[in-house]
A and B are shown apart, each in its own frame.
Chain A
Amino acid sequence: MAFLSRTQVITAVGAVLLVLYVLDLVRRRKLSEEYSLLWVICSVVIAALGFSTPLLTWITRTLGMMGASSTVFAFGLGFTMAMLLHLSVKLSRLGQENHALTRELALLRHELEGREAAGPRAPGTVEGA
């Protein structure tokens, strides 16, 4: 196994620390398992690239990259994009759910206030159930 360059060591150690931090976040219930998956895969791949020189040089040559560090960066960037897209999708769904809940809440609150008041009914209301 070839000698590890300083950048490789830094990259690999950084990735290992990231995995540990992500797992700790899951342990403390700050991060759901679902969201930790992409992070863990990302960190493991980066760590593998950092620790294994043959793998890194092979991928670099196969993809026609200019340097080994570009390969690491390319993988990191790829994962970052995937993560951001994943979050955008999740955010859109959260927005839709929030939207639906707000509408539902408005109708429920109106019904509740109507029952509590039980006073003069506003025009247009029909006794519901």
Chain B
Amino acid sequence: MSELRVLVIIPAHDEQESLPVTLDELRRAAPGVDALVVDDGSHDGTAEVARRRGVVVVRHAVNLGVGGALQTGFRWAVEHGYDVGVQLDADGQHDPAYLPALLEPLRAGRCQVSIGSRYVRRSGYRAPAARRLGMVLFSGLVSAVLGERITDTTSGFRAYARPVMEVCQHDFPRDFPDAPLLIALGRRGFRLEEVPVEMRERQAGRSFYTLGKSLYYPYKNLLASLMVLLQRPAQP
């Protein structure tokens, strides 16, 4: 392993069933890598199961959503001198075995954000029609704006270099850190690169995305993307 200090950030909300599986898997796949669980206002034993495995746990008093949990993780990573923060879902969708592949572009200095994408190569993942339409729309939008092909804007399996985390700890989309985030980062001059991964069905617990949110999602993301484009691009 190279000398990059890597922190795996695991946002977790009521994930006591799947979190231990994810943590054990992470330990097997990447034994030397530090992990931080951000317990996002859970009402179950999420924090407890993580602590029992010797992982650092930071707890939100109320639920802030994935974006807020990641921001806390970024802040932690920056304060504790990490070079890279990797976002890993607690529900087991992301296979930690891809960690080296995800880190490789950052290590090589080719980009500041690497995204584990389900669509760079044909993967087994199939989404419902409405969601597929949204994915095509948003990946088209992001690719057009950034001038490079981004196929998976909704992937939560990403690695962020320190300069990106320094920005994101203060400025981050609140509920869905997807298309608008990627556009904003690209416009700040950060380079993005996709890495092909396979994702699995969630192991247990329930998804962050409910019916109400699935209606709000396209509205919010479209609006936020347009607003990002209307704002003056900030310097990194």
Chain B nearest CB, measured from A121 CB (Å): 9
Digitize A101-119: 1 where CB-to-B-CB distance is under 8 Å, 0 elsewhere.
0110111011000000000
Chain B nearest CB, measured from A1 CB (Å): 51
A-B contact count, CB below 8 Å?
55
Most chain A Cβ neighbours within 10 Å, of B51, B58, B64:
B58
Q: Identify which of residues 77-129 in chain A touch chain B, using a CB-to-CB cut-off of 8 Å.
A: 96, 99, 102-103, 105-107, 109-110, 122-126, 128
Q: Is the CB of B34 within 8 A of A110?
A: no
Q: Is the CB of A99 within 8 A of B174?
A: yes
Please pick, from B35, B59, B64, the residue contacting A124 in the complex, using a CB distance under 8 A: B35
Docked pose: A123 CA to B37 CA in angstroms = 12
Binding site of B, secondary structure by majority: helix, strand, loop or mixed?
A: mixed
Q: Is the CB of B55 within 8 A of A126?
A: no
Known contacts A99-B64, A107-B75, A128-B79; A122 and B59 CB within 8 A of each other: no
Q: Is the CB of B61 within 8 A of A124?
A: no
Q: How large is the interface on A (under 10, 10 to 19, 20 to 34, 35 or more residues)?
A: 10 to 19
Closest to A122 in B: B56
Query: A102-B61, A124-B35 known; 7 other A-B pairs, CB under 8 Å?
Result: A96-B174, A102-B68, A105-B60, A110-B59, A124-B56, A124-B80, A126-B80
Please give the residue numbers on chain A whose beta carbons come within 8 Å of chain B beta carbons, in ascending order: 96, 99, 102-103, 105-107, 109-110, 122-126, 128
Provide a sorted-by-A list of 24 A–B residue pairs whose CB atoms are within 8 angstroms.
Answer: A96-B174, A99-B64, A99-B68, A102-B61, A103-B68, A103-B75, A106-B58, A107-B58, A109-B58, A110-B56, A110-B58, A122-B51, A122-B55, A122-B56, A123-B34, A123-B35, A123-B54, A124-B34, A124-B36, A124-B80, A125-B80, A126-B80, A126-B81, A128-B80
